[in-house]
Each structure stands twice: as structure tokens, then as C-alpha cells.
Amino acid sequence: MNIPRKPVNRPCDFRPLSVDEVCAIENCSPPLLSLNNRVVWLSDNGPEFGYIKWLGKLPNVGNDWMAGVYFDNPVGSGTGVYQDYQLFEAPLNHASLVPVIGLLKAEDLLSNDEIDHKPSLSSPSSPTIKSSSSIILNNSSSSNDLALENMKCLCGKGKGIQGHNNSCYLDATLFAMFSRVTIFESLLYRPQNFQDISEYSEVQRVLKEEIVKQLRIDLYVSAERVMHLRTLLEKLSSVRGLTSEEKDPEEFLNLLLNQILKAEPYLKLSSGLESYFYQLFVEKDEKLVLPTVQQLFDQSFLASDFKLREIPPCLLLQMPRFGRQFKMYPRIIPSLYLDITDVLDNSPRQCSICGQLAEYECKECFGQFGDGLDSTAFCQKCMDKSHSHRKRFKHKTARLAVPPEFSMLKEHTQIQRIYMELFAVLCIETSHYVCFVKCGNGPDAPWCFFDSMADRKGIRIYHHSY
């Protein structure tokens, strides 16, 4: 999937435009899906099937292609009417407008088993063990066939990590961290030292031998093994209920990475703070109906006073969400690649107007000469010119630190943009966690959906670079 980072200005912001109109006006190609395609929408309650009956763009929904879907089940909210426009016809509650990026062709939804949609949250008094299951979402690419084949081995019921007694927060986090990527590998191999707690080696052994190795070799980790880890964590933590109650992945990761394994923090901020996560803090933007992670990431850094001192080996982002219930946006599009160029301290940036090496930053110019944070960087010449304008001469601007070796070579070096690649998405709605993990490389790689029990929800995202 290709997410355009720079949406072009649309000529009409007031009425829906059909796919043909958009293509004619913007001179662009149509989306990969077409009218009457059989599609699947991964709703909060499981996959829902339907047919595309309208395609185009809507006012106030950014530049994303939207599809009007006639669903088999009554999961929609209308009859195909958008504002005053009848886009297509469907019986009441069978119609919905969804972003094309969130739809899959029905034939691309590969599953070894029927997916279990039953609500699965067992009450504390019923210790029934639900089997785990995972499915593959295929973005249809030939270069990732091998990754797909490998991943298929891990798919179906009784594969992955078995859920039990509210363990989904832990199962989904461990699956995201260890099933496909090796960036967390050093956690499994650092020898114990005198500063470590006495149980350090035991926790590390259980994590490595009983969970990660089982997951990679046997493709299955039983709930007993996960319980072994939970029992150890409970013993070492001041947090109660780690063996029986639903917790947040942050609580688990903080305990594991910070308190027990004492891993090096992944994020080093210019304020001097170090951290394992970055919580996105944004004000609700009513114009953003369906934000991307990149948009929220840019807004969050725009509002903050710090930057990243270095490229993080792994970027764990928490979406704007507070407590169990409050989510700022009901849906967020995960950006498959996150451009972090403009949040790095001491790293060369490009002038948003002429593309030369930037020497100044003006946060008040955000969005004026582009969309994202890159629109805040200027070279000396463009800075002077744009800020001599009456509208801008009062702007507070700041000089950027440019590495001296780069200033000397600026005529001969291209300014590289720095991207991080999304490898997993951990989601929740009310109280059940699941995850999506990328298997393979590049934007066309297939994704695996993992659920240690059933159901799925909300959003929280992990990034890392290769």
C-alpha cells in the first residue's frame, strides 16, 4: 500500500467526488480496488464481507480514497447517503463508507481455519483456556512469497501464544516483539552483572527458553509457559494482579525492560530524558477525520519543545489514548513508514521551499509550505524572503544546529530523509489486546494477525528501522 505523504489540493471540498471525477481532475490513477469488488473490512468485531458500490473522495476526509460498501451483515450505519448525496443504495444499516486502505480483497484474506469471533473475555471465575489463532493478510506481492510461506506455518488455531486468564496484553506484546523481528534479541543475551536483581537470569531464561524459542521452533507457546513468566513478574513487581488481571502492555514492558532486564532506553530526547516509549500528545483536530500516525507524530513533536538526540533503534509509539476508555480518534491509519527526519536534533534537514540545506526552523509556518514537520525548515535565503511578508515577520524562528561536517560538504551531498519502518501494531478497544505483525520486507509485505483468544480493538503502534 502506498500512502501519499503529500496530498494534492483538491479542487472541490464540498461534495463527494466519484473515482472518475477525481482521476480526471487530479490526473491520478484509481485505487487498486474497483467497483463491485468483493471485500473484507476488519471491523472491531471481526472480518465483515461486502461489495464496493461507490468509490471516490469525500470532503473533509483528507486525500484518502473512500469506498461505499454494501455489507452482507447489518454493520453499517445508513443506506448509502452521505450528507445530501445518495452515493449508492443499500438496505438500512448495510451501508458504510470506509477508507480503501482499510479494505482487503476477499480473496486475499487467507485463513487456515475459520476465524473464531466469539467474545472471549473469560470472567475470573471461569478459567477456560481459549485456543490462540492467527491469520494472514496478504497484500499480494511476489517478492514476499517466502515470508508468506514461513508465516503460514505460524497460522491457524493452536499456533502462536496460547491465551489464558486475561493474558492477552502479554501474549500480543510478546508476539509483536519476538515472532518476526530480532531487534529485542539483546534482551535475551546480556549476561547478569552485579547491579542486576538476583532473579535476572531466571526471568531471562524463561523468556528465552520457554517463550521465544518455543514460539520460533515449535510455533506454539502454551499458557502454562506464559504463566511461568507471569508468576515471576508478579513476584518481582509492586503491581498486583499480573497473573490474573488485564494489564496494559506499557505496564508489562516497563516492568520487563526497565525494572528487571534494565535495557538501554530506546529514546534519547534533547531534554535529557530517556524513555522506552513515546506517547503522542495532540489536541483534537476536528479537520482530521482519519489521521495517519505520521500526522499525529508531526503534531505531537510540533507541540513539544524537544527532539530526538539520535535515531532510535526501535520506536514504540503510544497513540493518543488515556485510560481504558478514552481514545481521541476512533480510527488511525498506521503509517507503514514514518519520516523522522525533522524530529532529529543535529541532523541535516531540507529547506521546505528550495530543498537546500535548512538553517532555520519556524514552527509557526507549519503547514504553510507543505504538510508535515518538513514545512518548518528553511534555508537562510528562503527564510528571509518568506518572513519579510507582513503575515510572517512576527514569527519566532530558531537557528538549527547543523553538523559542521555537513555544512562543509553541503554542495556535494544530498540530504537523506530518515524513515522508520512499521513492524507491528498492537491494538485494544475495551479490554482485549491483539496484534498485527509484518512478515517480510517492503511496503508489499504480508501482515499476520494474531489473537491469543479472539476479538480485536483500538490502536497503539511500534516502529523500528532496519
Closest distance to Zn ion from the beta carbon of 409 (Å)? 18
Among 206, 353, 426, 428, binds Zn ion (CB under 5 A): 353
Among 392, 410, 417, 457, binds Zn ion (CB under 5 A): 392
Would you tell me how many other CB atoms lie within 10 Å of the CB of residue 92? 11
Closest distance to Zn ion from the beta carbon of 305 (Å)? 17
In the block, residue with C-alpha cell 518476526:
180
> Is 292:284 a contact under the CB 8 Å cutoff?
no
Q: Where in 220-239 is the site for Zn ion (CB under 5 A)? A: none
- Lookup: cell for 291: 489521521
Nearer to Zn ion, 138 or 352 (CB): 352
Q: How far apart are CA 403 and CA 77, in angstroms?
A: 54
Among 354, 398, 401, 408, binds Zn ion (CB under 5 A): 354
Nearer to Zn ion, 233 or 365 (CB): 365
Q: Where in 290-319 is the site for Zn ion (CB under 5 A)? A: none
Nearer to Zn ion, 220 or 369 (CB): 369
395 binds Zn ion (CB under 5 A): yes
> Is 433:427 a contact under the CB 8 Å cutoff?
yes
Q: How many residues does the chain have?
A: 466
DSSP conformation class of 108: G
Exactly one of 94, 155, 164, 168 is catalytic; which is it?
A: 168
**Got the DSSP string for 322-357?**
ETTTEESSS--BPPSEEE-GGGBTTS--B-TTT-SB
Q: Is 432 a catalytic residue?
A: yes
Closest distance to Zn ion from the beta carbon of 341 (Å)? 16
Which segment (3-11, 197-205, 334-342, 354-362) binds Zn ion by CB under 5 A? 354-362
How many chain residues touch Zn ion (CB under 5 A)?
Answer: 11
Which segment (61-69, 175-183, 352-360, 434-442) binds Zn ion by CB under 5 A? 352-360
351 binds Zn ion (CB under 5 A): yes
Closest distance to Zn ion from the beta carbon of 375 (Å)? 10
> Is 321:331 a contact under the CB 8 Å cutoff?
no
Closest distance to Zn ion from the beta carbon of 414 (Å)? 15
Contact code string over 111-150 relative to Zn ion, x by CB under 5 A: ----------------------------------------
Q: Where in 30-59 is the site for Zn ion (CB under 5 A)? A: none
400 binds Zn ion (CB under 5 A): no
**Got the DSSP string for 228-265?**
HHHHHHHHH-S-S-TTTS---HHHHHIIIIIIIS-PPP
Q: How far apart are CA 362 and CA 394, in angstroms?
A: 11
Among 69, 95, 382, 448, binds Zn ion (CB under 5 A): 382
Closest distance to Zn ion from the beta carbon of 51 (Å)? 48
> Is 368:375 a contact under the CB 8 Å cutoff?
yes
> Is 70:142 a contact under the CB 8 Å cutoff?
no
174 binds Zn ion (CB under 5 A): no
- Lookup: cell for 289: 477525520
Nearer to Zn ion, 112 or 356 (CB): 356
- Lookup: cell for 18: 466519484
Nearest in space to 279 (alpha carbons), one of 255, 249, 257, 309: 249
- Lookup: cell for 154: 505460524
Long-range pairs, 149-156, Cβ under 8 A, ≥24: 150/439, 151/180, 151/439, 151/440, 151/446, 151/448, 152/110, 152/112, 153/219, 154/179, 154/219, 154/448, 155/110, 155/111, 155/112, 155/448, 156/111, 156/112, 156/113
Nearer to Zn ion, 254 or 397 (CB): 397
Among 364, 371, 421, 444, binds Zn ion (CB under 5 A): 364
Q: Is 427 a catalytic residue?
A: no
Exactly one of 432, 435, 439, 463 is catalytic; which is it?
A: 432
Nearer to Zn ion, 125 or 414 (CB): 414
365 binds Zn ion (CB under 5 A): yes
Closest distance to Zn ion from the beta carbon of 366 (Å)? 9
Closest distance to Zn ion from the beta carbon of 416 (Å)? 17
Which segment (210-218, 256-264, 335-343, 376-384) binds Zn ion by CB under 5 A? 376-384
Q: What's the CA angle centered on 167, arms 166 and 170, to 5 degrees?
A: 140
End-to-end CA distance of the chain: 19
Q: Which residues bind Zn ion (CB under 5 A)?
A: 351, 353-354, 356, 362, 364-365, 379, 382, 392, 395
For the annotated catalytic residues, the residue numbers are 168, 432
